[in-house]
């Protein structure tokens, strides 16, 4: 039985995210994706005009959710902003861990892509929220440390269950930011 157009498109996206995360965006060809998805390159090109179009569709939901999170965090201050930023960022990083891995592997190629939201502006807004909107230079350093650590750790191939990873990412980020971390339960 032939796959529906939607199923084929989903299979292509599933293959692409796995292959990009394993071999990098630059190290993955359209033929690699088509072969992994079980279709011809012509079928893939029917659904997506090029590799950039696949990447844009893969990264759009993560970018939109990060932008929405930073928007929600602007109304919060101090400890409340920092804790909400850590919780939201940890959830996003875990939900989109393969996407984060793609961004990290090819960071120079990824950060200035026109199909992505302004990555630099979003990260600055996230660091601002992580610091509780503090102007203290030390807090900015800690905010960057927490942000990068959450992303790098979520993208690592760790043999740790998500519940434990979520708890430890949250605890470690809050400690890095100088906040009392939740007790170990």
Over the stretch 140-183, which tens digit does the pLDDT of each residue have? 999 999 999 999 999 998 999 999 999 999 999 999 999 876 66
Report d(CA 2, CA 124) in Å as an integer: 47
Query: Does 73 lie in the same domain as 37?
Result: no
131 and 164 fall within a common domain: yes
Longest dimension (CA), the chain: 62
22 lies in the same domain as 63: no
**Domain membership of residue 144 as a residue range:** 59-176
Which two structure tokens, joined as six digits, stand for 168?
A: 């430890």
Overall average pLDDT of the 121-126 stretch: 90
CATH number at residue 20: 1.10.10.60
Whether residue 121 is predicted with pLDDT greater than 70 in this model: the reply is: yes
Q: Are residues 141 and 90 in the same domain?
A: yes
Question: Do 137 and 72 share a structural domain?
Answer: yes
Considering the domain architecture, whether residues 75 and 161 belong to the same structural domain is answered as yes
Tell me the percentage of the chain whose pLDDT exceeds 90.
Answer: 74
Q: What is the tally of structural domains in the chain?
A: 2
The rounded distance, in Å, linking the Cα atoms of 170 and 185 is 13
């Amino acid at each position: 039985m032939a796959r529906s157009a939607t199923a084929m498109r989903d299979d292509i996206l599933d293959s692409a995210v796995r292959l990009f995360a394993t071999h990098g965006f630059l190290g993955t060809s359209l033929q690699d994706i088509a072969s992994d998805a079980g279709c011809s390159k012509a079928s893939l090109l029917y659904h997506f005009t090029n590799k950039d179009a696949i990447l844009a569709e893969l990264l759009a939901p993560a970018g939109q959710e990060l932008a929405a999170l930073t928007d929600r965090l602007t109304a919060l201050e101090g400890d409340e902003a920092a804790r909400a930023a850590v919780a939201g960022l940890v959830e996003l990083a875990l939900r989109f861990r393969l996407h984060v891995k793609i961004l990290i592997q090819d960071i120079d190629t990824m950060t200035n892509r026109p199909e992505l939201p302004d990555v630099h502006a979003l990260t600055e807004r996230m660091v601002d929220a992580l610091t509780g909107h503090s102007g203290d230079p030390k807090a900015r350093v800690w905010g960057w440390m927490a942000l990068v650590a959450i992303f790098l750790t979520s993208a690592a191939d760790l043999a740790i269950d998500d519940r434990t990873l979520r708890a430890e990412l949250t605890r470690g980020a809050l400690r890095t930011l100088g906040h009392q971390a939740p007790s170990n339960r």
